[in-house]
Amino acid sequence: MKTQLEKLQAGEIQSIKCNESEALAIISSDGTAEFGIEEMDLPDGTSLRYTNTGDTYSEALCSIDGGDWFLSCWGDCYESAEQSRYEETGEQCCCYCGEFAELEEHSAKNWHGWACQSCRENH
């Protein structure tokens, strides 16, 4: 009989309704090291809770805004939220200071020559 983690990995189920303790038990069921539950605000205004497995792109259970837990990694969730913010607002994250700013029209397709409005670093 497959575990819930194996079912998630195989794509047989998309999400799990559970509490944080259960999420930690599920992600640890295959012997994966875990370091508790972490939380962060995402660029699109949502909140991400995830089982910290030690690496940005390591398989983890994730929950956005208190929803069901799903298999992903916090790095992919962050990048997806960053893209959503760009699509909704036109704001891009500065790789130097981490602030979001709208790209000038002439540079929206090309970062070269763009200066961050916060730190003034050229891209």
Regarding whether 95 and 48 lie in a shared domain, the answer is: no
Domain that holds residue 77: 4-89
pLDDT of residue 109: 54
Regarding whether 68 and 44 lie in a shared domain, the answer is: yes
Spatial separation of the C-alpha atoms in residues 118 and 84, rounded to whole Å: 21
What confidence tens digit (pLDDT) does each residue in 51-77 have? 998 899 999 999 999 999 999 999 999
Regarding whether 94 and 80 lie in a shared domain, the answer is: no
Regarding whether 50 and 83 lie in a shared domain, the answer is: yes
Q: Across all residues in the chain, what is the average pLDDT?
A: 84
Helix (H, G, I), strand (E, B) or coil at 93: strand
**Exposure on the CB side of residue 52, measured as CA atoms within 13 A:** 7
Residue 106 confidence (pLDDT) above 60: no
Regarding whether 85 and 60 lie in a shared domain, the answer is: yes
Q: How far is CA 30 from CA 6, 90, 93, in A?
A: 9, 41, 36
Count of domains forming the chain: 2
What confidence tens digit (pLDDT) does each residue in 43-53 have? 999 999 999 98
Provide the whole-model pTM.
0.79
Which residues, including other chains, have CB under 8 Å from residue 15's CB and lie 6 or more apart?
67, 68, 69, 70
